[in-house]
Amino acid sequence: MKAHSRTFTLRKLPLFLVPVLALAQVPHRPATHKSASRSSKPAAHARAAAGAQSLTSPAVTRRVNELMSKLTFSQKVQLLSGYESMFTHPIPAQDLPAIKMSDASVGVRVWGPSTAYPASVALAATWDPALAYRAGRSVGRDARARGVNIVLGPGMDLTREPQCGRNFEYLGEDPTLAGRMAVAWVRGIQSQGVAACSKHYAGNEQETNRMTVNTIIGKRALEELYLAPFRDVIEEGHSMTIMPAYNKLNGLYCTASPYLLDTMLRQHWGFEGVAMSDWGAVHDTLGPLNAGLDLEMPGDRYFNRKAIDPLLSSGDLTVDTIDQHVRRLLRVMVAMGWLDRPQKIASIPLNDPTSAATALQEEREAIVLLKNKNGVLPLNRSRLHTIVVVGPNATPAITGGGGSSFTTPIVKPVSMLQAIRRAAGAGVKVIDLPYPLSLTPPHMWPPSPNQAPATLPPFTSQQTAEIRNADAVIACVGPRESEGVDRPFNMPGQQNQYLHEVGSLNPRTIVVVNAGSNVGMSPWIHQVSGLLYAWYPGENGNTAVADALFGRLNPSGKLPDSFEKHWKDAAAYGNYPGKNDTVNFKEGIYMGYRWFDSKHIAPRFPFGFGLSYTTFAIRHMSVADHGQGAGRVIDVNADVTNTGKRAGAEVVQLYVRPLNSSVERTFQQLRDFARVQLAPGQTRRVHLRLPWQAFAYYNTGHSDWEVPAGSYTLALGSSSRDIAATKNVSWTSTLKQPEFRPQFAEHATVTPPPSALLRSALHGAWRITQTTVGNQTSSTCNFDLDGNNLSGSCTGPTGQKQSIKGTASGDTATWVAHVHFGRRDLLLLYKAQAQSANSMKGTLQIPAYDVKGTFTGSRQ
């Protein structure tokens, strides 16, 4: 961008600036609780992103070094912020392209119509990580077809309460399930040369006041629940980017939290990629940059030269910090290959049949059958004459929830009414009773979850007769859910009363719900015979729902959440949505089924539950114990048999239950699962595996994971409350986490100490000779090093004496000179490396003039 201004720059450069006039550079690093080297883990993230080079490979580092040496300071600062909402800044002078982004939780939505996939919660309901990988791969291909580099997903906040308007974009209430599905999705995306952006990190479990709310979560619940899927997606999924959320976590905005961005993300999990803010989630320049936020999106409100320069000159911010942020972005760009090939692959069709097939398969596996009284389902076409279809979601097609994920389908979506007509065939009369109140579709913006308070008109006598005489009534209903706002527990628009009336006219009523989580069902659940959760089905998923109704498909999804009977039963009741802009997760680790099970409250439908048109048996559970201590692995095997008459899939779930634990534990935790497809009569053996972490809890006293000595029941079943077999194992002695993990501390950051060579050099008197745009001048400096802090003074050719302060860490020292030139305040940025105790060399930059220079130093 500055290429054209270079001539101007050279002519105008004030030559007197060449002397060294170093100014203070006090690192605004919060107190370090514990100076420590990294854990044995850090390379984990950098190591193995599928479809990309390692972020820290020597080849990537060399290329990044080259780019860094060419970039001017202004260009570096430009790289720290977004451009035109969905890009990073292009730097044409250095051949750096703009990095193109798109939301993609349920389809690549930003760049025109695209395959609209089912909601993420539907993917979670499949409990099928192999399918999640394929779904990610399809979205990755859709992204390549549109030249998109980064997709803004997956969403991994947990379903703490059903009201959260974005639950449909997330992966349920359990961290093991959410983490497993997210890891697979991210690997699929990144296998296509597209980076995933895991979001919203962290504590964004509600949309009410999401821009400002202070979420208070204790450290045990953070480690065991809310951060766990993010840890998995970084350590195992190698997500290249992550999105700090809008809200505050424990008092600090997520975008300015050293705990989130440095302690957990980089020190614990070894993240080497880019942390980019949610859109408009930055509120300051200094805090976020020092905490570890690399990229402000969507624009440069805070990450710009005007805001950054004074912070450099006051020493609150260091050049090194800016460089680290830029390096991270460059590393991702280089490692992903974005600098070496076009991102767009024109041969991938925009309307890719592979994507459509994947979207359909997701919905086919996601549908959860919750109630099937007297075998009302599947509907038997040969015995049906008339079906009545009612409810606001029958037509037009509902494909997704509202907000930034909403993807305009690339094909004309199929409505439930159309899908039912097709599946019913010509021999069945399908009567459509339009919903009497007007409800906007869920994806309307701004969202209106509370709409249509009007009273329901009574059915006409003809309608009453049609409902009463029908062989079956299919009621298509759901809340109005969208980003930016939460919705009530009960569905809006009098749907409860409507279902109550329809159900009392005809008990052969089957309810199909589109939602991201539970809804109030008390007024009607006992009056209807069937209940199917369809989530949001994407562009073609209603055909799968109709297939499930008519038995062409055997529903096999399982709930990724617990469904409470009443809102007052839930763990978050009384502590949601908070008061005075603060929400306190007082239930701690007792969230979802952990709450219902431990407090002996019966949910309406338990976590992991889902019926089928066939039956299964889980038998012959066996346990094989290998290794010891942290090397111990327990293999759990069992036979699963389809004991019914139809093909179907069962999800075998393995829960660990601490027995008489000496420390507070929840009743059970899901630790592994497997989905198996079985023909009638078929048996398959499933293999599940428990490492030591499956037994561990987070000990807040020691800030460490620990397996308390004692007995544990391994419970194997088809839901959290339908256990087929159990075995006990024990840990004879307590196991503490064998790896180093830094102290839990809100503000801990660790700056590596200066190298021995740098320490031997940075003291005493020096002569610094520098060359900038062909001019050479010298000055005399005195350096003094204390820990990471560099101080001293310099006297330039004009005789003016300036004190200097800076930072030294590893092999590099940096300091800033602040010079007044006429009415301008100019910065000179220095970066030095020692050759020996008596010589150093380095570079300097004068950002205002966009020029660079070099210098050498020799001991006096």
Q: What is the CA radius of gyration of the chain?
A: 30
CB of 363 to ligand BGC, least distance (A): 22
Angle 305-314/319-335 helices, nearest 10 degrees?
130
Dihedrals φ, ψ of 548, to 5°?
Answer: -70, -40
Question: Of 279 and 535, which CB lies nearer to ligand BGC in the complex structure?
Answer: 279
Count of H-run helices and E-run strands, the chain = 20, 35
In this chain, which of 269, 279, 459, 855 binds ligand BGC, going by CB under 6 A? 279
First to last CA, the chain: 41
Place of tokens 């062989």: 471
Tell which positions 176-215 bind ligand BGC, by CB under 6 A: 199
Cβ-based nearer residue to ligand BGC, 137 or 200: 200
Identified binder of ligand BGC from the candidate list 103, 157, 223, 363, rule CB under 6 A: 103
Q: How many CB atoms lie within 10 A of CB 237?
A: 28
Closest C-alpha among 108, 116, 113, 168 to residue 140: 108
How far, in Å, CA of 790 to CA of 814, rounded?
9
Q: Which of 128, 174, 236, 278 binds ligand BGC (CB under 6 A)?
A: 278
* Coil vs helix vs strand at 342: coil
Say how far apart CA 807 and CA 694 lie, in whole Å. 43
Question: In angstroms, what is the minimal distance from the CB of 2 to ligand BGC?
Answer: 29
Closest separation between CB of residue 124 and ligand BGC, Å? 17
Q: Which two tokens stand for residue 797?
A: 């050719």
Cα–Cα distance, 224 to 268 (Å, whole number):
14
Applying CB under 6 A, does 850 fall inside the site for ligand BGC?
A: no
Residues in the chain, overall count = 860
Q: Which two tokens stand for residue 113?
A: 């119509």
Distance CA 341, CA 336 (A): 10
What are the residues facing 101 on neighbouring strands?
150
For 94, which DSSP code?
A: G
Question: Of the candidates 67, 152, 525, 735, which one interacts with ligand BGC according to CB under 6 A?
Answer: 152
- Nearest approach, Cβ of residue 398 and ligand BGC (Å): 21
Residues 6+ away with beta carbon under 8 Å from 431:
386, 387, 388, 389, 466, 470
Measured between alpha carbons, how far is 326 from 80 in angstroms, rounded to an integer?
Answer: 7
Chain centre distance of CA 482: 17
Within 8 A by CB and 6+ apart from 809, the residues are 320, 751, 752, 753, 754, 788
CA separation for the pair 311, 25 (Å, rounded)? 9
Site size for ligand BGC (CB under 6 A): 6
* Rounded-to-integer distance, Cα 643 and Cα 682, Å: 8
Residues 278, 320, 323, 547: which is the catalytic one?
Answer: 278
Catalytic site residue 278?
yes
Nearer to ligand BGC, 276 or 384 (CB): 276
Q: Which CA distances in Å does 816 have to 318, 711, 792, 807, 832?
A: 8, 60, 12, 10, 11
- Under the binding rule (CB under 6 A), the answer on residue 404 touching ligand BGC is yes
Q: Does 262 bind ligand BGC (CB under 6 A)?
A: no
Report the SS3 class of residue 683: strand
Shortest gap between Cβ of 272 and ligand BGC (angstroms)? 22
Positive or negative CA dihedral for 846, 847, 850, 856? positive
Neighbouring residues of 271: CB distance < 8 A, sequence distance ≥ 6: 45, 234, 242, 265
Quick one: 207 or 706, whose CB is closer to ligand BGC?
207
Nearer to ligand BGC, 156 or 690 (CB): 156
Q: Per-residue DSSP letters for 627-681? A: S-GGG-EEEEEEEEEE-SSS-EEEEEEEEEEESS-SS---S-EEEEEEEEEE-TT
Q: In the complex with ligand BGC, which residue's Cβ is closer, 405 or 814? A: 405
**What is the CB neighbour count within 10 angstroms for residue 412?**
10
Quick one: which H or E segment has residue 524?
Answer: none
Strands 851-859 and 764-772 come out as antiparallel
Q: Which residues bind ligand BGC (CB under 6 A)?
A: 103, 152, 199, 278-279, 404
**Residues annotated as part of the active site:** 278
